[in-house]
Amino acid sequence: MASTNPPGISKPVLTLDDARRVATAAESEALDNDWKVAIAVVDDGGHLLYLQRSHDTQFGSVETAIAKAHAAAAFQRPTKVSEDAVLSGRLIHLSLPGVIPAEGGVPLVRDGIVIGGLGISGVRSFQDGQIAQAGADAISQA
């Protein structure tokens, strides 16, 4: 079957090695702060590519991390944007499908294109965000 892309057009993708590198950077930030979290990486379609959870992290953080990663990829912006909007009274964000109004989800970007999402859950929202940013930085430094 022939490609539906115009000739010479391609896009970057998130590989399993990329996902592992992102998760390792995020885990390192969490461990440096003695934070126990779940880490989820999804591809640009929101499909789970990688998941890990500290053995003593509450299991509710698993689905939350996946949802944050999915939302970051789907809306192509950090979940903190929705958190800030809700906190400022823009409650419409609560009705958007798949939105998680809590910091900790960030899009993964290569060459200006969203190639996936990273979600962190297990500690306070701003701490989840700090860990997520450390993970996302691993893509830009690759």
Please write the tens of the pLDDT for every residue from 103-131: 999 999 999 999 999 999 999 999 999 99
* Alpha-helix residue ranges (DSSP H) falling in the chain: 16-32, 60-75, 80-87, 125-140
Residue 9 pLDDT: 76
SS3 114: strand
pTM exceeds 0.85:
yes
Please write the tens of the pLDDT for every residue from 54-103: 989 999 999 999 999 999 999 999 999 999 999 999 999 899 999 999 99
Buried b (16+ CB within 10 A) or exposed e, 22-61: bbebbbebbeeeebebbbbbbbbebeebbbbbbeebeeeb
Residue 4 pLDDT: 59
Residue 5, pLDDT > 90, answer no
Residue 1 pLDDT: 46
Other beta carbons within 10 angstroms of residue 75's beta carbon come to 20
16-140 homologous superfamily: Haem-degrading domain (3.30.450.150)
Task: Give Cα separations from 118 to 8, 70, 82, 87 (angstroms).
Answer: 29, 8, 16, 22
For the ranges 6-10, 27-31, 118-122, the lowest mean pLDDT is seen at 6-10
Residue 37 contacts residue 57 (beta carbons within 8 Å) = yes
Q: When comparing pLDDT for 8 and 55, which is higher? A: 55
Residue 33, pLDDT > 80, answer yes
Range 48-54 average pLDDT: 97
